[in-house]
Structure 1
């Protein structure tokens, strides 16, 4: 029997499920095929905007647009033109119902679960093609599919072999997690850290020039300036990327900034010292506040 079993809406950049149909299909084969949607959701950024995956008696089709992917699971005999018209309707309704800012900043899975009501109504219509009145749209989609057929995804592209995920090689390094969205104060702290790094670098270069002109001068101040530069740049790196022991590293970088400015107290005014230390403390706080995005256990579809 040709029909649509399941549909979902996924954010492309990280595979976060935004909405999905809530019906519970008891067919074991359908439940097994649903697992392929998880593998696909992890690869959306690497795949074309219109794809099909054939798996036994079922097909998985999806389209992606504006950073959102619309996926559906149907029987293999379900007409392609109806499948992609169904996905096209989901896409048009979703992008007109929800603002992109909400979609891009969503953190919790299924933040738009209320969209399921539209998915269900549309699914019922497309499971009874005689009730469809969009004959013109069907003809347009048929022409589009003929001119640009959907890309056929293979199991190997998903890292699957004979329907099972291949064991990834152990690399000893945990991949970077996505950090929470940038804030205005975070951007300000990043720019101020870069400014402090630039000031330390300029003073360090001038200190080297002074050493070359006056033999016997103490070169330790040059080291202090360059260590301060490195600490500020490293704080910028910690703010931008997620690494292991990130908070501890930020405190160590701040400690190095304080030590360097204590050593250079004779070469700087009090206000200059306060500025560098305050920026270091401010950047450390922003690193602490910008944590990796949390993922719920049901993060994938």
Structure 2
């Protein structure tokens, strides 16, 4: 019998969809943990393989950018398990484009496909005449699960926390104060752009004596826009970049004293400080808390 099945992204093992889990035994839970650990290493393994556990078996099959895995009882025919995995892959690839798969940034982004996996699993488990397995498929490779949880810094079947430094790591939800500071920051960037464009137009008619102030307006505008990027996306050295942008905005506004009065300079710097705090408060979400299902 097929107990559990899922579809993952081959590149990093990100789970995209999975069947409903009605088996709560400790043996099944431990086997699912090993299945998740195995899924992260599929890009280094053959296209088809089987890992034998005590009373259960893990089968996997990969094609293109995705892979399907199934947790079955040891008595379930391996040929039927791979026929099931092939059908799951075909259904998923016919439903979603490669671009959508590549852009998925959170676990189980294709939850609507869960019902498809559940339906196919039910058909293979309880159909009166199960589908005939394909003989042309290559034979599966036997995979050993010894110390697999230590491979590629995997702990308890999940990627290590260092994976959170990637560009597309999920951040904590946006707050109301964050939205307010974002709006004010966009307003400040628009003011800098408009004032810089107006000064540039005037400078072209009367020489280039204001080139320094024009550069300051443009630099402040770019720094505000890059702050917006850091607010929505995580990247390496995010804290240093955020503090550096704050310093640039402060320097530009102080340099523009004369073009802007003191209160306007304080307003721009205050908005930049508030937005900097909001950027630093948005921390990456630990994906290990969301990978379980």
- TM-score class normalised by the smaller sequence: 0.5 to 0.7
Secondary structure of residue in 2 paired with 1:127: helix
| 1:80 matched residue in structure 2 | 78
Choose from 107, 110, 119 the match for 1:109.
Answer: 107
1:139 partnered with 2:135: yes
| 1:177 matched residue in structure 2 | 165
Superposition map of 1:213-232 within 5 A: none
Superposition map of 1:89-238 within 5 A: 89-128=87-126, 130-133=128-131, 135=132, 137-141=133-137, 144-145=138-139, 149-159=140-150, 174=162, 177-180=165-168
- TM, length-normalised to structure 2: 0.57
Distance 1:49 1:138, change over 3 A: closer
Deviations 1:79-138 (A, max 9, x none): 1111111000000000001122222112232221221222122112222464224x3x43
Distance 1:296 1:27, change over 3 A: closer
1:64 partnered with 2:62: yes
| Alpha-carbon distance in 2 for matches of 1:241, 1:254 | 17
1:247 partnered with 2:239: yes
Deviations 1:254-296 (A, max 9, x none): 858998xxxxxxxxxxxxxxxxxxxxxxxxx9xx79x987437
Unaligned 5+ segments in structure 2 are: 170-225, 252-275
Quick check: 2:166–2:236 contact (8 Å CA) kept in 1? Answer: no
Distance 1:179 1:86, change over 3 A: same
RMSD: 4.0
| Alpha-carbon distance in 2 for matches of 1:52, 1:72 | 10
| Alpha-carbon distance in 2 for matches of 1:292, 1:91 | 35
Answer with 46-55 or 82-91: which moved more: 46-55
Unaligned 5+ segments in structure 1 are: 167-172, 182-234, 260-284
Alignment: residue pair count: 209
